[in-house]
Amino acid sequence: MFRIFVVLGSVFMILLIIIYWDDVGASHLYLHTPVSPGPRIPPPPPPRQQPHTSRTPSFLSDIDAFVNQFLEPGTGEPTDPAPADSGNQSEKAEERYIPRREWKIHLSPVAAELRERQEQRRRLLQEMCANDSVVFPGKNRSFDDIPNKELDHLIVDDRHGIIYCYVPKVACSNWKRIMIVLSESLLRDGVPQRDPLSIPKDLVHNSSMHFTFNKFWKRYGKFAKHLMKVKLKKYTKFIFVRDPFVRLISAYRNKFELPNANFYRRFAQVMLRRYANQPTPPASADEAFGMGIHPSFPNFLQYLLDPQTEKEMPFNEHWRQVYRLCHPCQIQYDFVGHLETAEEDAEHLLRHLKVDNVVEFPTSRRNFTASTLEADWFNTVPLETRKELYKLYEPDFRLFGYDKPDSILNE
């Protein structure tokens, strides 16, 4: 019996070791690119080792300690100063060293007006999320309750400790370029790409260029949600938004006023059949535009308001509400930019992140859809449709401080 217990105990320990290393291995992979949060006071020396106690620490406490030690600065990160030459290091080891990129230190403070603007935007978000009169699906759920597929817009840069939630039609192409440069995920001849505008558009929107929250499950398994929370707590999180109605106009102009084979096949043909009296629309976008056929702006709004639309599939990201893309009541954003103040906000944000010596936000060509033309676009839209549309996007208006468009809703 003793021999049997020894054998069974040995098998049990082997299985336990295999399971343990399988779990810790997944967590260890995550830690190969530690965060570089900028110049900080060096951490204090480690305390003297305490005598071993028989207390059994909780599983999550162990994981917290394990993860946090890799998120503290000054632990051999790529941006730490080069170690002193000891004379016995190989040339190969020296070649692996990544030189420190100096953080920009500003002698003058950020303008009080810009600091107050950010404080007001963050405060408004908190107030609206706590306001019972602002109601929308998913508002009161916890972060743990958000499905993994709804976290695909949160891009992570571990090198600088940044999380960006991108919103289509809000300068997201340029911000994605910035994230590629900062994360050094694109190499040219072995050298990280430094110029955002030189990154081809097809790579900018290629999901393989960005590490997003929805990819955590595949890489980290059961640790995914816990690691997301660690990053959300320690990293700087930012988002850029714009007037919801103007964003819709921009999406319509970009996807339906110009030939777009993908959007024509997936959406325009549906709109033409249902709302434009075109039971057999042309087979291709080129053929349709050659015949002068495309959905009108009212057709597009009918599609958005039709209950059948989301029964078939969720809203496309280009017209999905921001609260559904970025979960502002579950994630406390540190910086909220507006497209209407894009240049000032971009300069402020890059300075706040201490990377304005590494990258510059691309200069705008000022071809944004002007909010002053908003009334012209809605002239042909029935008043009842406008009011229903406002209800659909009202949470975005209120969460991010955009005025209710009374001139459009009261005509």
Q: Which residue has the tokens 């042309």?
A: 282
Residue 338 has pLDDT above 60, yes or no: yes
Say what the pLDDT of residue 254 is: 96
Strand order in the sheet with 236-241: 154-157, 162-165, 236-241, 335-338
Is the distance from CB of 169 to CB of 242 less than 8 angstroms? yes
Return d(Cα 284, Cα 265) in angstroms, integer: 7
**pLDDT at residue 74 is higher than 80:** no
CB atoms within 10 A of CB 97: 12
pLDDT in tens, 139-177: 999 999 999 999 999 999 999 999 999 999 999 999 999
Dist CA 392 CA 248 (whole Å):
12
Mean pLDDT, range 295-310, rounded to an integer: 98
Q: Which residue has the higher pLDDT, 248 or 57?
A: 248
Per-residue confidence (pLDDT) for residue 108, from 0 to 100: 76
Average pLDDT over residues 98-116: 70
How far is 192 from 180, CA to CA, in rounded Å?
A: 9
**Which positions ≥6 away from 142 have C-beta within 8 Å?**
330
* pLDDT for position 189: 83
The burial class, CB within 10 Å (0-12 / 13-18 / 19+), for 64 is: middle
The backbone region for 76, taken as left when phi is positive above 0, alpha when psi lies in -120 to 50, beta otherwise, is left
Map out the domains of the chain as residue ranges: 112-244+320-374+394-408, 247-312
> What is the average pLDDT score of the chain?
83
Q: Are 252 and 349 in contact (CB under 8 A)?
A: no
- Percent with pLDDT over 70 in the chain: 75
For residues 242 and 280, give the distance between their C-alpha atoms in angstroms, rounded to a whole number. Answer: 36
Separation between Cα atoms, residue 43 and residue 73, nearest integer Å = 8
The reply to whether the predicted model has a pTM over 0.85 is no
Could you tell me the pLDDT band of residue 56, with boundaries at 50, 70 and 90? Answer: very low
Q: What is the mean pLDDT of residues 11-20?
A: 68
Task: Tell me what pLDDT residue 370 has.
Answer: 64
Q: Cα–Cα distance between 259 and 250 in angstroms, integer?
A: 15
In which region does residue 223 sit, left (phi positive, over 0), alpha (psi from -120 to 50) or beta (all else)? Answer: alpha
Q: Is the dihedral of CA 387, 392, 395, 400 positive or negative?
A: negative
- Dihedral sign computed on CA atoms, order 123, 129, 131, 134: positive
- The end-to-end CA distance of the chain, in Å, is 90
Contact 281, 288 (CB under 8 A): yes
Instruction: State pLDDT tens for residues 348-381.
Output: 999 999 999 889 998 765 555 666 689 899 999 9
Burial class of residue 166 in the structure, from the number of CB atoms within 10 Å of its CB (0-12 exposed, 13-18 middle, 19+ buried):
buried
Ranked by mean pLDDT, the top range of 27-36, 83-92, 389-398 is 389-398
**Can you list the alpha helix ranges (DSSP code H) found in 239-341?**
244-256, 261-263, 269-275, 285-290, 297-305, 307-312, 322-326
Q: Are 276 and 295 in contact (CB under 8 A)?
A: yes
**Model confidence over 193-244: pLDDT tens digits?**
889 999 999 999 999 999 999 999 989 998 999 999 999 999 999 999 999 9
Both structure tokens of 380: 């042909």
What string of DSSP letters covers 103-152? PP--SSPPPHHHHHHHHHHHHHHHHHHH-TT---TTTT--GGGS-GGGGT
